[in-house]
Amino acid sequence: MAIIQSFWNTLTQLAQESGFAGFFADGGWKNIIMILISFVFMYLAVGRGFEPLLLLPISFGMLLTNLPNADMYHPEFWEYYEKFEEDAGTVNDHYIDYQRILEHGGLLDILYMGVKLQIYPPLIFLGIGAMTDFGPLIASPRSFLLGAAAQGGIFFTFVGAAVLNMSAADCASIAIIGGADGPTSIYVSSQLLTKHSACSVGTIALAAYTYMALVPIIQPPIMRALTTKKERSVVMGQLRPVSRLEKLIFPVLVTLIIALMIPSAAPLVGMLMFGNLLKESGCCDRLVKTAQNELMNIITIFLGVTVGATTQADKVISLDFGKVMLLGVVAFSLGTACGLLLGKLMYVLTKGKINPLIGSAGVSAVPMAARISQKVGQEEVPTNYLLMHAMGPNVAGVIGSAVAAGVLLAIVK
């Protein structure tokens, strides 16, 4: 009898601690909706091929974090709170208690440390740098202008978000989606967002990667609308070959100039250029191979699943999530448009030597945006090879986004 009682007790207790019970707790229904949303993103990643390398881990993190009582991620551990620091005699209002996280954190809390300590995005940039060929940009430095113009999307979206009365951190985090660069978005949002923010790092990342996957759908109509048939038909010549020494000096020069101008961009730009220098050096192949592959893959897995884990039901199931998605696509479209418009200006100034279609590649989203320029160009002149010319603005867009991120971080803090 006592055994049956004890068995029943244990069973009841397990039932109460189960996730099913959690669904009936306050706000538990939101978790169900979030799990359904995670299924949607899994479908987009696997079924439709939307940036699966990132969206699949993110969506699985979203599933795990919304399983009640699984305690794999604790948002409350990551809220800044105030602490009186005796040594300094001041109040630190950005205090995160790492001792508590190490003691009581779940698996995803521990892995999320790499996001909050700001090491995953720069290390992914290390790998990207080790894969990127800046040759087209060095051969045609004016591409930098297009990479700068396309960042206009970021700043105009800042206006939009501010008009919707969002906080400065939200505005900056949403705006950076227009940079079309995942690690940069995560880098900025994980530094700025607080517990009072409407967004989470995860929703920003979801929007960024979703729209990056949608580049082939979002960009072409804008490109066709803003350019004339004549402009799109411009055939561009071959780029000059770039010597090894130029490729070696480039990463050092960019690091120096950008990091000195905008120190807050230094970790991203510095690591991007470090990876590129390793690659161009030609004598560190074993390091380059690891930076491009294993290191990047390990961090991608950790980054994806933990960023997904930040999509708390409270953050996502709200009008604000809609705002993020809406403003995200606005940011993207504005960026594309800004790039194209400067392209048109350059078309005029160079008396028709530059095809404005390469301007839309300035949003980054390497290399898809450049391929879209190529494709839309070929619709007019099938033998026109714009890809090489679009790669310049494309990689300039990566640098441009990192600079824009640095500016936002310097202003909002």
Partner 1 sequence: MSDLRFMFAQLLSSNIPPDRTDLSAETIVSVVITGISVVFIGLIILIVLVSLYGKIFEGINKSAEAKAKAKAEAEAAAKAKAAETEVKAAPAPATAPAPAVEDGIEEEVVAAIMGALSAMYAGSGKKPVLKGVKAAKPRRSAWSAAGIMDNTRPF
In the complex, the smallest distance separating the C-beta of residue 116 from partner 1, rounded to whole angstroms, is 15
Q: Does residue 110 touch a second copy according to CB under 8 A?
A: yes
Q: Does residue 236 touch partner 1 according to CB under 8 A?
A: no
- In angstroms, rounded to a whole number, what is the distance separating the alpha carbons of residues 172 and 332? 14
Residue 33 site contact among partner 1, Na ion, a second copy, none (CB < 5 to 8 Å, cut-off depends on kind): none
Which residues between 378 and 407 bind a second copy (CB under 8 A)? 407
Q: Which of 25, 40, 91, 102 binds a second copy (CB under 8 A)?
A: 102
Which residues between 67 and 96 bind Na ion (CB under 5 A)? none
Taking the CA atoms of the chain, what radius of gyration do you get in angstroms?
A: 23
Residue 397 site contact among partner 1, a second copy, Na ion, none (CB < 5 to 8 Å, cut-off depends on kind): Na ion
Contacts of 147 (CB under 8 A, 6+ apart): 362, 364, 392, 393, 394, 395, 396, 397, 398, 399, 400
Residue 179 site contact among Na ion, partner 1, a second copy, none (CB < 5 to 8 Å, cut-off depends on kind): Na ion
Query: Nearest Cα to 19, choosing from 79, 65, 58?
Result: 65
Q: Which of 3, 103, 237, 322 binds a second copy (CB under 8 A)?
A: 103
Q: Which of 122, 182, 343, 397 binds Na ion (CB under 5 A)?
A: 397
How many other CB atoms are there within 10 angstroms of residue 164's CB atom?
Answer: 16
Query: Nearest Cα to 58, choosing from 213, 171, 163?
Result: 213
Q: Does residue 367 touch a second copy according to CB under 8 A?
A: no
> Residue 48 phi/psi, 5° resolution?
-110, 0
Q: Which of 56, 124, 307, 357 binds partner 1 (CB under 8 A)?
A: 124
Asked whether 149 and 339 are in contact (CB, 8 A), the reply is: yes
Asked whether 366 and 213 are in contact (CB, 8 A), the reply is: no
Q: Does residue 261 touch partner 1 according to CB under 8 A?
A: yes
Q: What three-state secondary structure class fits 283?
A: coil
**Nearer to a second copy by C-beta: 228 or 297?**
297
E strand or H helix that includes residue 411 = helix 387-411
Q: Does residue 178 touch Na ion according to CB under 5 A?
A: no
Q: Does residue 275 touch partner 1 according to CB under 8 A?
A: no
Q: What number of chain residues touch partner 1 (CB under 8 A)?
A: 99
Query: Nearest Cα to 191, choosing from 261, 98, 120?
Result: 120
Q: Please report how many Cα atoms fall inside a 13 Å half-sphere around the Cα of residue 182, on the Cβ side.
A: 27
Binding characters for a second copy, 247-286, by CB under 8 A (x = yes): -x---x--xx--xxxxx--xx--xx--x--xx--xxxx-x
Q: Does residue 364 touch Na ion according to CB under 5 A?
A: yes
Most distant CA atoms of the chain, gap in Å: 95
Residues binding Na ion (CB under 5 A) = 179-181, 364, 397, 401
